Each structure stands twice: as C-alpha cells, then as structure tokens.
C-alpha cells in the first residue's frame, strides 16, 4: 500500500486525491494547501489528515508526494521531495523555465526516486491504442501528426497570469503527445502563430488564447497543433496521424451514444465537457503506472526528461509566436 501526501487541493489535487482514495493499491495519508480549509475539505473526502507542506515532506508514513500546486512551485517541491527520498508525481509543467528543469532533474536522479510528470493523455486508453498501433506499423511510416486540443472556456485571468502562457500551460500536453506519437524522432523546428480571439481580458496579460503551431522532426515528419481556450461545443480532443499506408484517428467522446434523427439530419449528444470527465480513465491509469514504477523501481513513461523536452518546445513556440520567426531546437 503506497501512502500519498498531496500538495495542493485545487482542481487537479481533487481529481488525483479521489482516484488514489479509490485505489486498492494506495491511500492518501495527508493533504496540504495554502488555504487550510481546502486541505481540510479534501482530507475529509479521502480519509486523510490536513497537514503542512513541510510536515508532509518530512513524514515517515508518506511514500509518495503528489504535487498539484501552481506551476511556479513545482521545481522547488520536486527537489525537496526527492531529497526526502519520496517518489514524486508532479503535475505538468515541471517549471516555467528550461533552465530550472535542468537544475531540478539531477537532484531527482541523485535521489534515485521515480518521477512521473502529469502528462495524463499518454495514459488515455484511446491515445495509448493509437500509439501502440503506430509502433506496430499499422499505417506504415508516420508522415503528419495533427493534434486538435480546445478547452470549453478560458480559465480566470488570474490563472493565466501565473500559468506561463498558453504554450507552456496548455499546449505543453500537445507537445508531449506529439513526442509520444513520433516514437523518438525528435522535433527540431517550431513555428507558432497566436492571437487573442476568444476573450479580450486575456490581451493585457500578454498571452494568446488561440494558437496554431507547425513543427518538423529531424527525420522530416510534420506536426500541426491547433489550440483554443474556447470551443462552444465542449472539450475538443482529437488526433489524426497520416502515414505511408493509411491514417489513424481518435475522436471525441460523447456524453452518451444517443443520436436524434429527423428531416435535418442526425444529431449526436454533446461531447464530454472538460478534462475531469474526458480523462477520468487516463488519471486512474496514470496513478497505476506511477504505482508500478514505485514497485519496480523504474522511471515511468512520462518522466522528467519528457517534461524537459516538452518545455523546450513550449519555449520555442512562445518565442516564435512573439517574434514571428521559425525557431530551431538544438
């Protein structure tokens, strides 16, 4: 039984806390949050105690630390948890800066603890199947990866201000998914175009809310990512991979399989609204993969190196979007 300490009892801390509490392989021992009532509330739901971040990291009855605090706290907390010998599941992104990740990862390596970065989409059963079929050669050589990822509505401006911007906060998932699907052919060229089209309140933050990125790998494969902070029809999560022998695609998941037909055509039910519903199975599989890594003493598939590589792409895209220039990744 792996005993978790959860840091951050917000949106994602609640998702993971409830998943862990429902697992037969793990339990939540403690929850910390900068807002004590938030920690107490989640602790009560998952059968844990509220405690401070310092006490949880030092606790002898904690085996694993789950970091679900805001992004700008992650690198410090990873280092502290690693030095305390705890296994770590840290939410994406690892940090807002490549340099800070490069300082942080050797601390984890020295401690020899597993580190899973919360790229939950790698654990989605549909995308996992897609990746396995690509590796099995189902559509021959991969030529174009197209990823569409659109949120139902923008987050509060206060979240955006602290997020590092769309490329680091939101598209980071798609950079990681592209690398996951490309199977080791690393991206070397990035070109990004971004606009504020969905919410004028985002403009003063200097961020964008709509973006398209084109990328090319060392082997010449092409990637297109389309992001928006607003989709009127729900959480739009689609992937299409075009290859030398065909095409594979994974579509959206609807709330039900109901369809209505009349003289105007066929109408399906709405799609699942946001990440908590859409990726429920992925979050559960992610926790299981983390527990496997702890038991086997191995690094999980979405590890610190993946966090670093996705961040390099996010920084290149941020720079490209600001300058209009193509950015090369060394």
Ligand X SMILES: NC(=O)c1ccc[n+]([C@@H]2O[C@H](COP(=O)([O-])OP(=O)(O)OC[C@H]3O[C@@H](n4cnc5c(N)ncnc54)[C@H](O)[C@@H]3O)[C@@H](O)[C@H]2O)c1
- The residues of the shown chain that bind ligand X, judged by CB under 6 A, are 7-13, 32-35, 38, 53, 68-71, 73, 91-92, 118, 120, 169, 275
Q: Which residue is nearest to ligand X (CB)?
A: 10
Which residue pairs, CB below 8 angstroms and at least 24 apart, start in 33-41? Answer: 33/7, 33/8, 33/9, 34/69, 35/9, 38/9, 38/10, 39/9, 41/9
Q: Give the 3-state secondary structure of residue 128.
A: helix
CB of 136 to ligand X, least distance (A): 27
Q: Which residue has the tokens 């003493």?
A: 297
Q: Where are the alpha helices (DSSP H) in 136-279?
A: 157-163, 166-169, 172-182, 275-278
Please identify, using beta-carbon distances, which residue of 75 and 87 lies nearer to ligand X. Answer: 75
CB of 235 to ligand X, least distance (A): 11
The residues that bridge with 235 in the sheet, in sequence order, are none
Residue 18 has a CB neighbour count (10 Å cut-off) of 17
CB of 55 to ligand X, least distance (A): 12
On whether the CB atoms of residues 305 and 106 are closer than 8 A, the answer is: no
Please identify, using beta-carbon distances, which residue of 154 and 243 lies nearer to ligand X. Answer: 154
Please identify, using beta-carbon distances, which residue of 69 and 318 lies nearer to ligand X. Answer: 69
* Residue 274 backbone dihedrals phi, psi, to 5 degrees: -155, -175
Please identify, using beta-carbon distances, which residue of 7 and 142 lies nearer to ligand X. Answer: 7
CB of 54 to ligand X, least distance (A): 10
Q: Which residue has the tokens 């979405």?
A: 302
Q: Which residue has the tokens 């801390």?
A: 13
CB of 195 to ligand X, least distance (A): 22
Using alpha carbons, select from 106, 20, 113 the residue that is nearest to residue 68: 20
Q: What is the DSSP letter of 47?
A: T
Please identify, using beta-carbon distances, which residue of 48 and 248 lies nearer to ligand X. Answer: 48
CB of 59 to ligand X, least distance (A): 15
First to last CA, the chain: 43
Please identify, using beta-carbon distances, which residue of 37 and 102 lies nearer to ligand X. Answer: 37
CB of 324 to ligand X, least distance (A): 27
Could you tell me whether strands 222-228 and 142-150 are parallel, antiparallel, or unpaired per DSSP bridges? parallel
Please identify, using beta-carbon distances, which residue of 222 and 276 lies nearer to ligand X. Answer: 276
CB of 193 to ligand X, least distance (A): 23
Please identify, using beta-carbon distances, which residue of 142 and 302 lies nearer to ligand X. Answer: 302
On whether the CB atoms of residues 6 and 42 are closer than 8 A, the answer is: yes
Question: Could you tell me the CA-to-CA distances from 174 to 166, 170, 211, 223 in Å, in that order?
Answer: 11, 8, 12, 10
Please identify, using beta-carbon distances, which residue of 23 and 189 lies nearer to ligand X. Answer: 23
Using alpha carbons, select from 298, 319, 316, 320 the residue that is nearest to residue 308: 316
CB of 75 to ligand X, least distance (A): 11
């Amino acid at each position: 039984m792996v005993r978790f300490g959860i840091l951050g009892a917000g949106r994602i801390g609640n998702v993971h806390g409830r998943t862990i509490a429902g697992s037969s392989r793990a339990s939540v021992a403690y929850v910390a949050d900068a807002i004590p009532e938030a920690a107490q509330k989640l602790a009560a739901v998952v059968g844990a105690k509220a405690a401070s971040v310092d006490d949880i990291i030092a606790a002898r009855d904690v085996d694993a630390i789950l970091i679900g605090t805001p992004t700008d706290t992650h690198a410090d907390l990873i280092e502290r948890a690693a030095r305390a010998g705890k296994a770590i599941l840290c939410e994406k992104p690892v940090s807002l800066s490549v340099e800070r990740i490069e300082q942080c990862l050797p601390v984890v390596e020295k401690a020899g603890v597993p580190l899973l970065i919360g790229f939950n989409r790698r654990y989605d059963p549909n995308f996992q199947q897609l990746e396995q079929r690509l590796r099995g050669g189902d559509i021959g050589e991969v030529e174009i990866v197209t990823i569409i990822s659109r949120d139902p509505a923008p987050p509060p401006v206060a979240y955006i201000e602290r997020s590092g911007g769309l490329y680091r906060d939101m598209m980071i998932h798609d950079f990681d998914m592209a690398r996951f699907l490309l199977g080791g052919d690393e991206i070397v060229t990035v070109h990004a175009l971004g606009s504020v089209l969905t919410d004028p309140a985002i403009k003063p933050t200097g961020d964008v809310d709509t973006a398209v990125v084109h990328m090319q790998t060392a082997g010449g494969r092409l990637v297109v990512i389309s992001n928006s902070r607003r989709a009127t029809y729900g959480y739009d999560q689609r992937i299409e991979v075009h290859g030398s022998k065909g095409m594979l695609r994974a579509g959206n998941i609807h709330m039900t399989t109901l369809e209505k037909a009349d003289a105007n055509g066929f109408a399906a039910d709405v799609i699942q609204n946001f990440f908590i519903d859409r990726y429920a199975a992925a979050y559960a599989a992610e926790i299981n993969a983390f527990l496997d890594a702890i038991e086997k003493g191995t690094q999980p598939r979405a590890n610190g190196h993946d966090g670093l590589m996705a961040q390099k792409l996010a920084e290149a895209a941020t720079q490209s979007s600001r300058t209009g220039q193509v950015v090369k990744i060394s």
